[in-house]
Every structure is written in structure tokens, then in C-alpha cells.
Structure 1
Amino acid sequence: MVRLTVPRVAMALIGAALLTYAFALAPATLPGNRGATTSDRLVRAEPNAVVTAEAVAATEPSPSPPPAPPLFPPVGKAFIGVMTQKGPYDFAAVNAFAKAAKRQPQVMLFSAGWASDRFDRKLFDQISGRGMLPMLGWEPWDYGVDAAARKKGLPRRQIDKIRSDQADYRLSRIAYGDFDNYLRSWAEGIRSLGYPVAIRLAHEMNGSWYPWCEMSNGNSPGDYVKAWRHVHDLFRAVGVSNVIWVWSPNAKWSDHTPKLATLYPGDDYVDWVGISGYYGMGAFSKYRSFDEIFNETIAEIRAFSKKPLVITETGAAESDGRKAEWISETFRMLPAHQDIIGLIWFEVNKEQDWRIESSPAAATAFAQAVADPRYDLTWSPDLPPRLKVDD
């Protein structure tokens, strides 16, 4: 019988420790075992080695990166926007629209003309402060020419001809850099905002009623793309990274409209593709559904770009008493267009009374439509824009 003396107990304990090392830890260092980690090496450190706090911290797993912020608008959602006569200079019409719609719009479109409007931070801050993404309709022309023609009560076609003939704002002058100082002042101002701003530059370029249309004002084929890219490149050179570039033609109204692909600056120069279209005027005077007005244009766009779509201007007239019907039908059709991420209503009494307030029936139809959870979302300055349909 072995007597358990102190030396023998000590030797037994040492032997047990060595066996534990041999079977539990040493295999990590055997040939063929390549899975040893930094923490293994620290455990096997020499008895007299000093393990520092920094070394222990290095063995801890790196913290997971924070989740990406939600996009605006989220997948499966679409925003509601508004454009009014006075824009951010007077929010009374916006308040009336929100009250009638029983929904706060998440985007506000307003216009600025190059002849007279200068960058004013207050306008953008007032819009964003109300929880709406500012969308600037940036128009290279003197809109005073248009206002003067309308004041004379001239026919619409004559007004279009007068206002589109402004040689100072030919596309070639923009592309050649004649407006660079003006453009730079806006670029620096928008960069200073620090939150996203959408710019709908020179919209409805496939028409003939603005001086930036290739079919008017002495412009030539290819000039529109050159002008657009020049403006975009100048903003990039100034270091502007908070602009959502919105390219926005008019919905096709005849078989003689220009091919949109020839006017498209390219996906590297565009973030959202917008379309303007109204029921109750011109080629769409007689009743035509949303799909009948927009689908042909959407199909043409989808042949060259997969960018998210926005209905940048729309409205309906009361001329034949079917405005409420058109509104309800439009919002029933919209969910089938998952690539349409927003719709901006033209809340103005202009050629027609396009406002949803034009009748109780129209206001009720609009309010019921936008009560759908699909339009239940908010915008805030820290939300990055959704730049892909399936983001």
C-alpha cells in the first residue's frame, strides 16, 4: 500500500496538470492542426510571460458593424409628395393639402429659375424641418417670359412658343460653361446643407415648350445630354455628394415624341427617373387611366434603365366629373408598379384646378387612397435615398 506523503501528492498533481495540457491544449500545435487561434497562443504562453490587457483585448471578437440605416422610401413603400404654387415661400397650400389628404407629404417639389433665383438655404431648411425631402425643380430659363405671356391671355400654344425661345439659355451655353459660376454657387450651397436634396434638372425635355428642349430654341441633337452631364460633373468637382439626380421626361403623348434613350444622360448621371403626366389636358383630355397614360413611357424607359421611378408631377381635372374616380383607380393600380417609389401631386389651380381640394369627392378619394399602409412612412435628414428598386 502506497503511503500518500506530501511530495507524492504534489507530484501527482503536477502529473495531472501535464496530462490535461497534453490532451486538451497540445493538439492545437500538432502537425496538421492549423486552427490555433490567438487565444490558444495566449493560453500556452510561457509561465513567466506577461499577458498584457492589450493582448487580451486583441483576442476579443470585433464588435459587429452597426446596421445600415433604413432607406427612403423602404422597400414595399412609396412616398407622397406635393407641389404648390408658392412653394416654400408660403406653406398654407401644403397645410391645406395635408389636411384634405389626412396624410403629411414626405416630399416637396418647388421650382427655381436660373435667371433670377439664387441659392437660399432657408427654403431647403424650411422644407426639411417639416419632415419633407426637398426636391428642386431647377429650370434654366427666365420664367418671367412665361408669366408675361400668360398675363396677356394668349393661347397655350402661343405661350409655349414664346417661352421656349430664349437664346441665352441654349443647351450649348450650359455645356460650354457659360453658367459655371452660377452653378458653382448652388453646388456649394447644397453641399453645405448636409442632408439629401433631390434635383429635377430641366424636366420634360422631350417636349418643345421649354428652352432646354432639343426641339426648340436652336438646340441640336445631343445637346441635352451634354448640358446635363456638365452640370452633374461640376457638382461632383465641387464635392457635392448629397444630391439625388432626377431625370424627368413627360409621359408620351403621341407617336412623334423624341426617343427617350437619346435624351438620357446615363445611369452614372441619374439616381431617380421621373415622369410627368396629367389626366384632363392635351392628349389626355378624355378619360384615360393611370396605366394608359404612363405605361408606354415606363416600358420605353425600362429598355435602357432600371433606376427607381417617381411620378414627379400628376393631377386630374374635374372637367368631366370623373376626377375622384381617376384618383381611386390610380391608387389601385400603383401597387402593381413596385418600381414606382413615389408620386408627387400638382396641388395648383392653373390650366385646370388640379388640387385634391377641388371637390369633396376628390379629397375623400385621395384621403382614402393614401390611408393605405404603403404610404405610411416618414422622411428625416439622416435617411439615405433608395437608389435601386430592390434595395
Structure 2
Amino acid sequence: MITLPRLMLVALMVIGGYVFVVAPRVEAYTSSTTTWQEQVDEPVPVFTQKHEQPPEIFPQDNKAFFGIFTEKGPGDLTDYNGFVKAAGKPPQVMMFASGWGAEQHFNRQPFDRIVNRGMLPMLGWEPWNYRAESKTDKDRGTQPQYQLSKISAGNFDGYITEWAKGIKALGYPVAVRFAHEMNGYWYPWCESANGNQRGDYVKAWRHVHDLFEQLGAANVIWVWSPNVVYENATPLSQLYPGDDYVDWVGLSGYYGTAGMETYQTFDQIYRPTLSELKTLSKRPIVVTETAATDAQGRKAEWIADLLRTLPRHPEIIGFLWYESVKETDWRIAASPAASAAFAKGVDQPYFGAKWDPDMTTRRLVPSRD
């Protein structure tokens, strides 16, 4: 199989008759392009702990959440504000990225900024230096200092400990999406890259998880998040740490980009991976990254299909939309038609999940009435 070159840093694949886009890498919230909001001290969230017996579960029965992931994260809320306006209501989850080689110390500000806006924060925690990323496709995943064996050997324990203590001290839940899309080849933590060996990913994941656990950071929701499967991808069964180490299973999958706009439904993109995951895990699934191109004028159609289809998948408890302009304009706010389709879809009672910091996390696939 010939590997297609990346188009503007995005890998485009035509696999088994469908098109998907490997998720675009985003800059962390400390990007130099962030606005004044990054410099404003965010107040520590104040919430009343209800101590209900038992506590309410998020998301609730017969409900799912929708969330947002932007290039600049909570440091610049421009895209977030546009998304809320287009959707007609705020999301319940917000994800942002942070790289080990760029963000040297824990900072609670982005987490507090998200919680103060009524959302569960999800940290995309990336063990590499994204600022040193190679522009050559075959070398993009090569950063020897971040080999998986070095993580499991304890080379980064000081760094991990600082973040574990910082997240624990927040006092509210935080989802941690650690080392995502590990079944590909484009990151240093992929087993097919960077001199990593078979079994190294699971060892590294369990080491990080166990260190958090030893430090008492029990407020973490662990999100194991591969890319949708494709030909020659590393088998998911080789990479899954086990249900004892995972709370949610995440998935990345996009519809098209410039030059690769063949229309495919959500089910056509996701169903092969969803079927495979049923054999690996009993954990709920979250679509941690998705979006659609409008290159063929079918973005609104794809959004409508997405929001009709998700309620038919009881294993999927939520999704996050990538609301940014990068390889193309992924935003729902980019067109009235996309905005209207999204607003209509999330106005269903099904997407009316409520979140507050005192809730516990759903860790089993819900039954649907």
C-alpha cells in the first residue's frame, strides 16, 4: 500500500471504501496567538457539593452530551463563543491540548476557565514536543526522548507527578485523553513509530495511570482514544490497557477534506471501529473528535446525519466537535446551513445531558428505554 502524503499536516486515507481524516494537531492553549483572556486570572470555581446517595451520573439515562474542541482552547474563547451562538445552547464538555515538551508546569487556569462556563474539562495530554514536530511525514512521529519505554521506565515521573497533584487539587472531575490516536504512525507514542516496540503503549499507559492512582488523583476520567481503524493501522487489541485502566473509550474520525470529499455517513466512517471495540471493552464510547468538510456543499447534510444517528448507538454517550479553521473550515459557525442543522440536532432532548462538578461519571454502556 502506498502511503499518501499529508495535505497540510493531515493524513488522508481511503480505506475500505470510505474516507476519513486523521485528526489535526492543535496548538496548546498557551499559543502565542491567544488573546487577552489568557492573561486574566480565572477565579477558582465555587460549587456546592451535594453528596447525594448515590450521586447523579453524567451523562444521565437516555441522554448524551455534546462538546467542543478548538485549536486555541480556553485561552481564546472566540471559536467557543461562535459555536454557542450557532448551536443555540452551550456544550457540556470542552477539550484542550497540552504537550509535555511545551507546557512545563501545571496551570489550573484553563481547567477553571472551562468549569466556570459550566463544562467538564477534557485534557488532551500529549507526551511530545509539538513545537519540534518534523514537517516530513515519515519523521513526524520521531522524537526519541519521548519513546514509550522511557515513560514506563520513570523518566517523566516528576512531570507526571506535578500534573497528577495539580489535577487532584482542582477538586472537580477532569477527563484525561492521554496519548491519543496511538494506532496510527504520526505521533511519537504510536507503537509503529519512534523505535517503540509491541506492548510499550500499554506499559506506558498503565504506568501513568498507576502513578495518578498512587497519588490519590481519583477525580480523573481516563479516556483511551484511538483513530478510527484503517488498513495497516496497529490493531486495537494490541493497544488496549484493559477496562480496569480506562473509563471512556474515545474515537477520532472526520468526513473529508480538500481533494477527498467523497460523501460518507457517520456509520460508514465509524461502524467498523465500533464493531471491533465491542470485542475489547465494556466502557462507554465518546467521539472525541469529529467534523465535516463543506467542499461538496454537504456539511449540513452530514451534521444532520450525525445527530440522527448517534441516538441509535447506546454505547456512545457523547461527542466533541472540532470548531476551528485549520486544513479547512470545520466550524459549524461557518455557514447558516451548518449552524441550523447542528442547532436542530442538539435541540433534541437526547442531547440535554446536564453536568456539574458533583456528579459521578458513567463507566458502563447505558441501557436505553
Q: TM-score, normalised to structure 2's length?
A: 0.83
Question: Once the 2 structures are TM-superposed, how far is the Cα of residue 239 of structure 1 from its aligned partner?
Answer: 1.1
Counterparts of residues 25-44 of structure 1 (less than 5 Å): none
- In the alignment, the residues of structure 2 paired with residue 348 and residue 359 of structure 1 have an alpha-carbon distance, to the nearest angstrom, of 13
- Where does residue 269 of structure 1 map in the other structure? 245
User: Residue 342 of structure 1 aligns with which residue?
Assistant: 318
Name the residue aligned to 1:243.
220
111, 122, 127: which one pairs with 1:124? 111
Q: State yes or no: 1:357 paired with 2:333.
A: yes
In structure 1, the residue matched to 2:180 is 203
Which residue of the partner structure matches residue 83 of structure 2?
A: 97
How many Å separate the matches in 2 of 1:94 and 1:137?
17
Q: 1:103 & 1:388 partners in 2: Cα distance? A: 27
Deviations along 1:145-179, whole A, 9 cap, x unmatched? 23x73xxxxxxxx3x33331111111010010000
Instruction: Say which SS state the counterpart of residue 316 (structure 1) adopts.
Output: coil
Q: 1:266–1:284: structure 2 CA closer, same or farther, 3 Å change rule? A: farther
Read off the aligned partner of 1:130 and give its amino acid letter. R
Distance in 1, matches of 2:315 and 2:181, equals 20
Secondary structure in 1 matching 2:319: strand
- The partner residue of 2:96 within 90, 110, 129 is 110
Q: Does the residue aligned with 2:344 lie in a helix, a strand or coil?
A: helix
**Structure 1, unaligned runs of 5 or more:** 1-64, 150-157
Shift of 1:227: 0.4
CA distance in 1, matches of 2:166, 2:356: 19
Q: Is the 8 A contact 1:214 1:223 kept in 2?
A: yes
- Aligned match of 1:180: 157
Matched, 1:87 2:63: no
Q: Where in structure 2 are the equivalents of 1:128-147 lying within 5 Å?
A: 128-146=115-133
Higher share in helix: 1
Residue 238 of structure 2 aligns to a residue whose secondary structure is helix
Superposed displacement of residue 139, structure 1: 0.1
Q: Which moved more, 1:284-293 or 1:257-266?
A: 284-293
Q: Which amino acid aligns with 2:54?
A: A
Q: Which residue of 1 aligns with 2:350?
A: 374
For 2:320, what is the secondary structure of its paired residue? Answer: strand
SS of the residue 2:159 aligns to: helix
* 1:18-57 Cα shifts (integer Å, max 9, x gaps): xxxxxxxxxxxxxxxxxxxxxxxxxxxxxxxxxxxxxxxx
- Choose between structure 1 and 2 for higher RCO, CA contacts under 8 A separated by at least 6 residues: 2
The aligned counterpart of 1:4 is none
Alpha-carbon distance between aligned partners in 2 of 1:323 and 1:317, rounded to the nearest angstrom: 6
Deviation at 1:281, TM superposition (A): 3.7
Instruction: Give yes or no for contact 2:191–2:234 (8 Å, CA) kept in 1.
Output: no
Is 1:166 matched with 2:143? yes
Would you say 1:253 and 2:230 are equivalent positions?
yes
- The CA distance in 1 between the partners of 2:78 and 2:296, in whole Å, is 28
Q: Are positions 1:312 and 2:288 aligned together?
A: yes
The answer to whether the Cα contact below 8 Å between 2:178 and 2:223 also exists between their aligned partners in 1 is: yes
Q: Tell me how far apart the structure 2 counterparts of residues 162 and 363 of structure 1 sit (CA, whole Å).
A: 38
Letter in 1 for 2:287: I
Match of 2:10 in 1: none
Map of 2:24 onto structure 1: none
Equivalent in the alignment of 2:197 = 220
| Deviations 1:123-150 (CA, angstroms, capped at 9, x unpaired) | 111111110000000000001023x73x
88-97 or 243-252, which moves further after superposition?
A: 88-97
CA deviation digits over 1:46-79, x for unaligned, max 9?
xxxxxxxxxxxxxxxxxxx964221110011010
Contact preservation (8 Å) 2:314, 2:366: no
- After superposition, the Cα gap between the structure-2 partners of 1:283 and 1:186, relative to the gap in structure 1 and judged at 3 Å, is farther
* Distance in 2 of aligned mates of 1:264 and 1:66: 33
- Summarize deviations over 1:204-226 as a string: whole Å, max 9, x none: 00000101001111111110000
Q: Does 1:288 align with 2:264?
A: yes
Map of 2:56 onto structure 1: 70
Whether the 8 Å contact between 2:60 and 2:354 is mirrored in structure 1 is no
Letter in 1 for 2:342: F
Q: Determine which of 230, 233, 237 is the counterpart of 2:210.
A: 233
How many aligned residue pairs are there? 316
**C-alpha deviation, 1:111, in angstroms:** 0.3
For 1:217 and 1:278, locate their aligned partners in 2 and report how far apart those are by CA, in whole Å. 26
- What amino acid is aligned across from residue 347 of structure 1 in structure 2? E
Give 1:358 deviation, angstroms. Answer: 1.9
Equivalent pairs: percent with the same residue? 54
**Counterparts in 2 of 1:320-331, with a 5 A limit?**
320-331=296-307
Note the C-alpha offset of 1:90. Answer: 1.3
Query: Equivalent residue for 1:385?
Result: 361
**8 Å Cα contact 2:119/2:355 also seen in 1:** yes
AA matched with 2:111 = F
Larger Rg: 1
2:132 maps to amino acid: V
Cα shift readout 1:343-389 (whole Å, capped 9, x = no counterpart): 00001111121111121111111111111011113211111111111
